Structure 1
């Protein structure tokens, strides 16, 4: 009863005052759009929250601007008594992601925000639970599994589903939402390689899936919780089962029901004597002694999030950039055509220029533009910022990909060549060598102990898709001329409103 009374007091007295300030802040923001970029104003009690909400629809870019103009690219953001360190400093990233890794964790606040959706899955946990999940999952990413993934899973999805759908669209002059198509493709792929299950979401009908719609809703609403001025707001809405929290509850129910059916079917297969010789990841988890249904369901949901949304986001922005840089597409086609007689896995692995083109695209449009850690013990960051237990450190991947000090004066240009060197001493050599960047300057796949397990798998999948599409089709945006798509981010980034395209066949 005490909690409910406190919630009622908050809704009746505190929220109206906040909305008044937000209205004023929004008015000031609209009037000041043409002014020079400046660090956010800090107000008593609510800190910079007013400016955050006033810029909410463009918060990725706004926070990126804050990082760029802050001394040492680190800013102490305050809101309602909370202090959050916002940074794009590579030395700080190395400190939190590697050097002092045990001190910077997902943390209680992050887990609480996402537990309803992700439970105790690998992306929402720390310590022994995280180590166990990572160890079991790592078996899916060995060379044998990667070869099987490219030559069987990805190729089947390409040849039997994606390419025919694009060919039909080209023949009938249809407009496709490429972002939706790529999400479907990636969803089928992750389900097949990780769970041994084919959802057949990429089909000629392109019918909507209750699960996919619910998954997107759960992702968006769960991540939006973090934007509230205080978590008490969403907790009250959850307690009263109203608004976005009611939608979230219904969406999560659909998602968990779907994931549990996958787990139960896999349990049945194992009970019937299914072989573990080349087992998928889900079989390994269920055979590891950790067969609690809710826990394994959490794992399934986390890996769907990783496999469905990140690679599709990366490819969506990649094809947008290619539409403006046909010279890059031409080089990729040349590279893919030169390797047509090589085994599929080896062909894809050796697509050096395509690898560079994808890396360059993710520099400008990272699939996860922001990430954060919670401080579990007092510490001092390399730039001199003192952090206290309970604070959060938010690192801005998107901002780092657009820093002149990291990428040079041509940082705004899309140039795959910045990742390449000529092999040997001959500067005229046509053979390229890929040169990876420091992961703390390019944390697209995180860095340190939590670096993305699926990094190589993601590159292989994307390179195979890109080569297959570009040697058959030209992808042309079907947008009004001069339209620039908007990046929006929840747990992962996406193109607002989708990516409408027309497909032109090359044959």
Structure 2
């Protein structure tokens, strides 16, 4: 496998923005991540556009927002760290699958495919993990369909609606290509389960704990939005609407994603020969990898303080969120600032 790895921000911008249509993930990526099926995080081209459109519509819908708020509040009120007295088979299966996917990157394709064919080594672990993941996904889907058919889903005011319910209600209205409804739903559930499992909050809490200065600033910002009639030294649950304009808190989350991106490695394959801004020639036989994890720690991109947890680098002189170019901060993707940034102060990065 001919692989080119890059951390050049100009190359990343070219691949993820300027010439995005020429750089799909490619069939090799889909083979390595085959447990994901044809879900959103594996899909390319029209399939990706269609699934992304559906996912965006559902995740930005008011009902899902209400569900997310209610679920988050319940988790905080009932304990951030649930105690599990039994082994989590599903989590172990996902760990095994991720380990095998990592190994596939560095093994000759013929070797891991032979292991899969003969059923030994890491590929046997993948087979067993796949069976567990399929079983869990099928159970979720069948139970939810049964609840919907029987009208057993009671929804209180303000509780909203989970994603699986929304997807099932849309069955028959979505273009899913050659996939059956069951296959599409399985792939969708698995993709969201795996994506939801990998989040930055654990790193965020760890980094805040290790940096008392940042913790103090976050506390100060939180206290500033508490109404004067309330005591500021008592435990309080903040609601989402109260938090959406907190610049320092958002900057701290962005800084966490800079150091610990949810996707540490990106994989692309050119459809047509191309010349990257760095001058390197690429062709359809090559696999291109760029490394958000490494980029978040490079002096040439972030300066001498690159390893410091410093939310201020995302805050402009005017006190709003600084527009950091996506060729520097690739933790989301090139579409993030266009669609999601709530404080798009102009700036050139730090």
SS at match of 1:124: coil
Secondary structure at 1:207 match in 2: coil
Hey, what's the Cα distance between the residues in 2 that align with 1:370 and 1:404?
A: 19
Task: Using the TM superposition, give the Cα deviation of residue 139 of structure 1 relative to its aligned residue in structure 2, in angstroms.
Answer: 2.0
Q: Is 1:303–2:192 an aligned residue pair? A: yes
Relative to 1, partners in 2 of residues 1:155 and 1:368: Cα closer, same or farther, differing over 3 Å?
same
Task: Tell me the matched-pair count.
Answer: 322
The residue correspondences of 1:165-176 to structure 2 (distance < 5 A) are none
Instruction: Give, in whole Å, the separation in 1 of the partners of 2:96 and 2:103.
Output: 11
Q: Work out which of the residue numbers 87, 95, 98 in structure 1 matches 2:14.
A: 95
State the SS of the aligned residue for 2:194. helix
User: How far apart are 1:269 and its partner, in Å?
Assistant: 2.6
1:160 and 1:375 map into 2 onto residues whose CA distance is 48
Considering fraction of residues, name the structure with more strand: 1
Per the alignment, residue 112 of structure 1 pairs with 31
Corresponding residue to 1:396 among 291, 300, 303: 291
Aligned-residue Cα RMSD (Å) equals: 2.7
2:241 aligns with one of 346, 352, 366: 346
How has the CA–CA distance of structure 1 residues 205 and 95 changed in structure 2, closer, same or farther, with 3 Å as cutoff?
closer
Classify 1:323/1:396 alpha carbon distance in 2 versus 1 (closer, same or farther; 3 Å).
same
CA shift for structure 1 position 353: 0.8
Answer yes or no: is the 8 Å Cα contact 1:211–1:255 preserved in 2: yes
Matched residue SS, 1:211: helix
Question: What is the aligned partner in structure 2 of residue 84 from structure 1?
Answer: 3
**1:445-472 C-alpha deviation (Å, 9 max, x unpaired):** 1224xx5999789xxxxxxxxxxxxxxx
**Residue 280 of structure 1 pairs with residue 175 of structure 2:** no
SS at structure 2 position matched to 1:433? coil
Give 1:339 shift.
2.3
Q: Return the alpha-carbon distance in structure 2 between the equivalents of residues 249 and 147 of structure 1.
A: 36
Q: Distance in 2 between matches of 1:89 and 1:339?
A: 41
For 1:141, the equivalent position in structure 2 comes to 59
Q: How does 1:240-279 map to 2 (within 5 A)?
A: 240-273=118-151, 279=161
Q: Is the 8 A contact 2:7 2:290 kept in 1?
A: yes
* Aligned residues of 2:16 and 2:334 also touching (Cα < 8 A): yes
Q: Which runs of 5+ in 1 are unaligned?
A: 1-81, 163-180, 182-201, 424-431, 458-507
Contact 2:67 2:162 in 1 (8 A): no
SS at match of 1:372: strand
CA deviation map 1:349-388 (0-9, x unaligned): 1221111122222222222221111112111112211111
- TM-score, structure 2 normalization: 0.83
**How many Å separate the matches in 2 of 1:411 and 1:279?**
41
> What is the CA distance between 1:137 and its match in structure 2?
0.9
Asked whether the 8 Å contact 2:67–2:161 carries over to 1, the reply is: no
Is the Cα–Cα contact under 8 Å of residues 87 and 396 in structure 1 kept in the other structure? yes
1:417 alignment partner in structure 2: 312
Matches of 2:69 and 2:39, distance apart in 1: 29
Out of 319, 329, 337, the residue aligned to residue 223 of structure 2 is: 337
Q: Equivalent of 1:370, from 265, 271, 274?
A: 265
Distance 1:255 1:372 in 2: 24
Q: Is the 8 A contact 1:86 1:393 kept in 2?
A: yes
3-state SS of the aligned residue for 1:85? strand
Does residue 224 (structure 1) correspond to residue 100 (structure 2)? The answer is: no
Tell me which residue corresponds to 1:325: 211
CA deviation map 1:34-68 (0-9, x unaligned):
xxxxxxxxxxxxxxxxxxxxxxxxxxxxxxxxxxx
